[in-house]
Structure 1
């Protein structure tokens, strides 16, 4: 079905814009099936925008994952606090309307010193920690179980990276960039572990 629909759209476009394309419009092929494959224009690529959108996707995915995990209906409004560095906050704060329209979540605060709500569900991302206020929705026991499982997973990852970095053969033979990347990854995992442990402390306190 899709190939036929695509061809129909192509033919309709041919009537409206027989010459199209970037950077300079050209006469389009008679059929999409024989049209040349589009070529990427390097001048149209923007690494900064792509990185910003990747962060947006990660946070959006984290918000949706929390909603799904807690079985909260899509139309139920939620509030979230995002702990991240100032650069990430500046990049994503202008996109708040999209988080609200695409995930049903209003973001309350952004930044490195954002305190989590008293009772919340969390998602740990490489560039941010997400805290969603679930005072009226959270299954505390289920969230404790999930966070405990996440804690064990991160501890195992940390142990593996520490063992690798303690191996002098690896450190001496691997390219410096690879070693530095592993050290940065280890530091990132340590931050995620601290966030998970803090969340467990809050969950065990109760409301």
Structure 2
């Protein structure tokens, strides 16, 4: 009996040592996966700004994105490098500096300085591009996707099915099939549309993104904010 316990203990220790060695050996390889420029495709995330502003409540009036003088509908949340499963983030610490003129030049499509800088640090650094080239690509990606006319302005609450939003985007963007983007929601509202693009900004399939789409049968689209 004692000999059996000794053998078991020895085997357990050996197993633990082996696991530790594997972790040490595989750690650097895993870290290399997050090296700038090593990814498979991009996701262009288009946020439904009225949902964001509604979440802010009374604080929304202090948010540039929620200004009543600029009734934003879909805005760019970010352009995110992706793996086929999962994604890299924060690939350079510290992140290269983004000059103020460049930040300001993006505010028409990403209407928050904090958002521009945050997205650069978390996602842009993984693109392998310098700041100017990355944000030029963000703008080119946004120009690639046509927002359906019915979603460029919304003056009242609207109930829609995710499939209706999907159909409208497919109609407005020839070549965009249902497995190339996803409609996102919270418990009751539209939050984002995420479009998958190759590194040269062609529409492409992305099963992992598509399977995480909204599962509501119908969802609310809050109206854009305005001064009226």
| Higher fraction of helix | 1
Q: Same fold (TM over 0.5)?
A: no
State the TM-score bracket (shorter-chain normalisation): under 0.3
Answer with 1 or 2: which has the greater Rg.
1
Q: TM-score, normalised by structure 1?
A: 0.21
